[in-house]
Amino acid sequence: MQRYFLESQENVITAENAYHIKTVMRMKKGDHIEVCYPNKRCYIAALTQVADVIQFQEIKEIISQNKLPEVVLIQGLPKSDKAEITTKYATQFGVSSIIFTEMTYSIAKMDPKKDDKKVDRLQKIAIESARLAHRNDYPVITYQKSISKISYEDAIILLAYEQEKTTTIKEVLGYSQSDKKIILIVGPEGGISPVELDFFTKLGAKSISLGKRILQTEIAAIYALSVIDSIYE
């Protein structure tokens, strides 16, 4: 069943979602859809009016079984279309939000003139990917110019660090509160710089290994998200 993320608690659908229901899916009055509100609650709903504005009636709540803790991904800005790959797949693998940030070894640079458009595009990819994954919510995507402007409070901080060969995610999370927010830091193509390693270590970050192979930056978070999911499943 098609799932739509609504921007308010009201029983009307407008704009792109309405276009999708009416013109792309060609749905009729009485057809069923899934709607998710900003409070992350989702319902099966029946369409009661299909026009430029779509109206519907809730039938039944969909109970989410997703018990993954909140995982915030801080991703060193990667090259070209790799931010899109990270956004698409990290969303499917349950990430709560993604902060792209320019790190020392980022080859790609942020550009205040274009960043808003890029974030908008990534946000759309995240919403579409969350819809396909049947998530009850979607991750919010943001850009931050510097790692020093991000909040790291009240979280277990995991730093994916290439030189870390032994400490696993399981070992770090095994000793922690299970409902605590997790911040996962992944460097850009060139990895984490010594200054960044020092910065994150002082914040209490634990360096973790992502297995024995070298993973490309755009997909490294997926390894961590899979393992975190399997720990909490």
Segment interacting with a copy of itself (CB under 8 A) among 6-14, 103-111, 115-123, 127-135: 127-135
Considering only the stretches 4-12, 36-44, 54-62, 132-140, report the one whose residues sit in contact with a copy of itself under the rule CB under 8 A: 132-140
Under rule CB under 8 A, which residues in 165-224 are in contact with a copy of itself? 165, 168-170, 209, 211-216, 219, 222-223
Query: Residue ranges of the alpha helices (H) in the chain?
Result: 15-19, 82-92, 112-132, 169-174, 194-202, 217-232
Is 133 a binding residue for a copy of itself by CB under 8 A? The answer is yes
How far apart are CB 115 and a copy of itself at their closest, in Å?
26
Q: How far is the CB of 226 from a copy of itself (least distance, A)?
A: 4
CB neighbours of residue 189 within 10 Å: 17
Number of residues that bind a copy of itself (CB under 8 A): 32
Q: Are 172 and 230 in contact (CB under 8 A)?
A: no
Using the rule CB under 8 A, is 94 a contact of a copy of itself? yes
State both tokens at 159: 């730093």
Q: Which of 144, 142, 79, 74 is nearest to 106 (CA)?
A: 79
> One symbol per residue from 33 to 72: x for binding a copy of itself (CB under 8 A), - otherwise; what is it?
-------------------------------xxxxx----
Scored b (16 or more CB within 10 A) or e, 157-176 reads: bbbbbeeeeeeebeebbeee
Dihedral (CA of 196, 198, 203, 206) sign: positive
Q: How far is CA 101 from the centre of its chain?
A: 15
Taking the C-alpha atoms of residue 156 and residue 135, their distance in angstroms, rounded to an integer, is 24
Q: Please identify, among the stretches 38-46, 142-150, 161-169, 198-206, the one whose residues bind a copy of itself according to the rule CB under 8 A.
A: 161-169
- Indicate which single residue of 19, 37, 89, 105 sits in contact with a copy of itself (rule: CB under 8 A): 89
Binding of residue 109 to a copy of itself (CB under 8 A):
no
Residue from 11, 92, 142, 201 in contact with a copy of itself (CB under 8 A):
92
β pairing state of 155-160 and 140-144: unpaired
Return the half-sphere exposure (C-beta side, CA atoms, 13 A cut-off) of residue 228.
33
Does 113 contact a copy of itself by CB under 8 A?
Answer: no
> Which residues contact a copy of itself (rule: CB under 8 A)?
64-68, 89, 92-94, 132-135, 165, 168-170, 209, 211-216, 219, 222-223, 226-227, 229-230, 233
